[in-house]
Amino acid sequence: MSILVTGGTGYIGSHTVVELLNENKEVIIIDNLCNSSKDVLEKIEKITGKKCKFYEADIRDEKALEKIFNENKIESVIHFAGLKGVGESVEIPLEYYDNNVYGTIKLLEAMKKFGCKKIVFSSSATVYGDPGTPKYVEEMGRGKASSPYGATKAVIEEMLENLYASDKEWTISILRYFNPIGAHESGLIGENPNGIPNNLMPYIQKVAAGELKELSVFGNDYDTKDGTGVRDYIHVVDLAIGHVKALEKLTKPGVYIHNLGTGCGYSVLDIVNTFERVNNVKVNYKIAPRRPGDLAMYYADPTKAKKELGWEAKRGIEEMCRDSWNFVKNK
Ligand code: NAD
Ligand code: UFG
């Protein structure tokens, strides 16, 4: 029996595939390579000494999905495939709904057709909206989405709940990620966005490497310890392990929602300073205006994941900064 990983050559997907192979699971990847490259497959093999089957295809392609389900015995799906640019989603919302929502519908239809009713879905802390308190607990429910990207995640969560309500055989895990950074300790896989990055860590990496002049710190007048925005950064390997644990615990039908975060908040300047210190490099920055749509501070309450999945993040901020830089140096 195999696990189908959609978006498995992407940033979080590739790290999760490594952890699944380390647990001797059979893994099949479907990815259309719109934001990743085939080289990742060799890297995964190098790290684990194991191979996984790869289909270059789009999850919206019904025929391709049928072929995959026909050719393999798929027991469960971990669903990462999707577009993830918050800013980009404001520019091209229809593409986001098409890829993320319609893509998930096609995937769920194929799963249903082939009697595979177990799925782990990549959601995001963004579905909480702005609940007015920095510590996000699963029971708070979904708030108003601040971007079309966030709206697609909220719609998919709701769709999965509706699906379970209609058919009590579905076993569904919704994982709400906080801010994944870092890379595999081998330095072979990590996050490698094209063009000018939007997210903090990829931007810092490019400044440290001399590819970009300086980081703009978006606001230093928030009500936080040093005035800069605070987030719950989580090492991507901890996040990947969270998926393995979630899948292991998916033994009874239902919809299970868990935060995957560390529970600690770090400011932008904490990240910059730690990155400089542990890697002995300079990260030039300037203070810039606040970025529209940003919240001052939020972090996970990780209690539910610890209690129900037996999972907690182990890697600290220093490892996150070290491994992020190690990946860049290794490229
Ligand atoms: P990523 O872009 O590195 O990985 C996504 C992968 O999906 C890519 O390899 C891309 O080629 C593939 N893909 C996209 N659309 C596809 C389609 N229609 N068919 C087949 N493959 C397709 O992104 P990531 O950071 O690894 O994120 C994985 C998931 O986690 C996404 O759903 C994302 O929204 C979610 N998430 C990410 C973050 C984050 O900060 N990285 C935070 C919260 C949630
Ligand atoms: N930041 C800067 N300068 C930059 C980039 C970011 O100061 O060049 C700051 C932001 O203002 C924020 C922090 O760094 O305070 C983190 O910003 P990111 O863009 O890295 O991440 P976000 O918290 O905005 O969003 C991330 C993901 C979303 C996801 C959300 C969920 O990008 O996909 O977490 O928590 F929805």
Q: What is the pLDDT of residues 227-252, one digit of tens each?
A: 999 999 999 999 999 999 999 999 99
Residues that are catalytic: 149
Residue 331 has pLDDT above 80, yes or no: no
Note the pTM of the prediction, 2 decimals: 0.98
Q: Whose CA is closest to atom 14 on ligand 1?
A: 82
Q: Which residue has the tokens 């990590």?
A: 190
Give the DSSP letter string of 152-188.
HHHHHHHHHHHHHHH-TT-EEEEEEE-EEE---TTSS
For residue 35 and ligand 1, the question of a CB distance below 6 A is answered with yes
| Residue range 78-131, pLDDT digits in tens | 999 999 999 999 999 999 999 999 999 999 999 999 999 999 999 999 999 999
The CA radius of gyration of the chain, in Å to the nearest whole number, is 19
128 Cβ neighbours under 8 A, 6+ residues apart: 136, 140, 142, 143, 176, 298
CB distance 181 to 192 below 8 Å: no
- Distance (Å, whole) CA 213 – CA 206: 9
Which of 199, 211, 225, 290 for mutating ligand 2's site (highest number of atoms within 8 Å of CB)? 199
State the distance between the two ends of the chain, measured CA to CA, in whole angstroms.
Answer: 35
Degrees to nearest 5, angle at CA 155 with 36 and 249: 75
| Residue range 160-187, pLDDT digits in tens | 999 999 999 999 999 999 999 999 999 9
- Distance (Å, whole) CA 257 – CA 160: 11
Atom of ligand 1 nearest to the CA of 12: 26
Rounded mean pLDDT of the chain?
97
CB distance 106 to 34 below 8 Å: no
- Distance (Å, whole) CA 156 – CA 101: 6
> What one-character DSSP code corresponds to residue 262?
-
